[in-house]
Amino acid sequence: MLYDMTVPAYQNGLRALSAQLDKALAWGAENDVGELQLIVARLAPDMFPLAAQVRFSCLQAVQPLARLGATGAPELTDDATDFAGLQAQIAATLTWLDSVEAAALDTDPGRAVGFDLPNGMAFDMTALTYVRDWAQPQFYFHLVAAYSILRHMGVPLGKADYVGYMMAYLRPGTAPAA
C-alpha cells in the first residue's frame, strides 16, 4: 500500500518535471533567457531557487522511502548549476525509484516513523500518516514550486505539462477537438 502511494506518484511527478525542464530550456533558447537565469529564479526572495526546488523534489522522493526501509538511495547534496545537472538529479532519482521493491516499504503501515527537522522540531507518526501527511505534501510542494518558477519566468507550461501522465487513462473519444 505505501509503495503504491509513493513510488508511482514520484515517478510520474519527476518525469513530468523532466519534460517541463526540457520545454523550459528550449523556450529559453528561443527567447534569450539563459539557463542561469532560470536556475536562479525564485518566486519570492525568501524562497529557494529553481535548482533547489528540483533537488528538493528529488530528495522528497528519496528520503521518505529510505526512512520507510528502501536502501541504496542516491546522494543529492548540492544544487545543480545547469540543466544537464538538474536532469541528472532527476535521472538518478528515477533509476533508484525503479529499484525500490514494494516489500521494503509495505511491512506495517502502523509502524512508528519519527524524524527531525534541521530547526530542532521532531515528529512521531505512523508510516501511513507519515506518507499521507508529510511525505506526499512535501514532494508536491517542491514539484509545484519548480513548475511555478518556470511559469513565472514565462515558460509556456500548462496543466497538461504538470499531469501529462494522465493521458494514459483518457477514455477514448473524450479528448476535446484541437
For 21-60, what is each residue's pLDDT tens digit? 999 999 999 999 999 999 999 999 999 999 999 999 999 9
Rounded average pLDDT over 142-153: 98
Q: Report how far apart, in Å, the C-alpha atoms of 99 and of each of 5, 27, 65, 85, 108 are.
A: 16, 33, 12, 21, 20
Task: Give the residue among 158, 148, 161 at the shortest CA–CA distance from 44.
Answer: 148
Q: What is the pLDDT of residue 106?
A: 87
Instruction: Give every CB contact of residue 81 below 8 A, 6+ residues apart in sequence.
Output: 39, 51
Beta strands in 45-168 (DSSP E): 112-116, 122-126
For 100-145, what is each residue's pLDDT tens digit? 999 999 889 999 999 998 999 999 999 999 999 999 999 999 999 9
Chain-centroid distance of CA 156 in Å reads: 20
- pLDDT band for position 172 (cuts 50, 70, 90): very high
CA dist., res. 62 & res. 56, Å (int)? 9
Torsional class of 8: left (φ above 0), alpha (ψ -120 to 50), beta (otherwise) = alpha
